[in-house]
Amino acid sequence: MSRISREEVARIAQLARLSLSEDEADAMAADLDTILGYVQKLQALDTEGVEPTAHVLPMATPFRADEPRPSLPPEAALRNAPESQGSAFVVPPVMDGEDEG
């Protein structure tokens, strides 16, 4: 039995804002199934009560004074924009009747 179906891959792709062709979805489903099969080996370990390690080094979040500092000027920030207008990035309409969001 496969661990991940093509339909599930398509659902995940939507969450990740990727659109896959049918062939791509098939290939990805097969690859992910192999990888997920391999990582099942972690289930053999008893981790009850073990703290997860999100960051390797024991560091507190560093704070700094809330003071104004120079930052990237708008024209430099916009220089790589595919489309801009004034000091804004231009994008197509956000809503188009329906969006499953």
Partner 1 sequence: MVEPLGTLSELRAELDDGGATSRGLVERALERAGEVGERLGVFRHLRGEAALAEADAADARRAAGETRGPLDGIPVVVKDNFSQQGEPTGCASKILEGYVSPYDAGAVEGLGRAGAIIVGRTNMDEFAMGSSNENSAYGPVRNPWDGERVPGGSSGGSAVAVAAGIVPVAFGSDTGGSIRQPASHCGVVGMKPTYGRVSRYGLVAFASSLDAHSAADAAVALAAVAGHDPRDSTSLPEPVPDYAAGLDGDVSGLTIGLPREYFVEEGVDPDVLARVREGVEVLQAAGAKVREVTLPHTEYAIAAYYLIATAEASSNLARFDGVRYGHRAEGATQLRELYERSRSEGFGAEVKRRILLGTYVLSSGYYDAYYKKALQVRTLLRRDFEAAFRECDVLATPTTPAPAFKLGENTRDPLRMYMADVYTVAAPIAGIPGISVPCGFAHGLPVGLQLLGPPLGEGTLLRAADAYQRETQHHEARPPEGGA
Q: Which residues in this chain contact partner 1 in the complex, by CB under 8 A?
A: 4, 8-9, 12-13, 15-20, 24, 28, 31-32, 34-36, 38-39, 41-43, 45, 47, 50-57, 59, 61-62, 64, 72, 76-77, 79-83, 89, 91-96, 99
Length of the chain: 101
Shortest spacing between CB 74 and partner 1, in angstroms = 11
Give the Å distances, CA to CA, from 58 to 48, 51, 54, 61. 22, 13, 10, 10
Q: Are 9 and 25 in contact (CB under 8 A)?
A: yes
Q: How far apart are alpha carbons 12 and 82 in whole angstroms?
A: 27
Shortest spacing between CB 92 and partner 1, in angstroms = 5
Shortest spacing between CB 22 and partner 1, in angstroms = 13
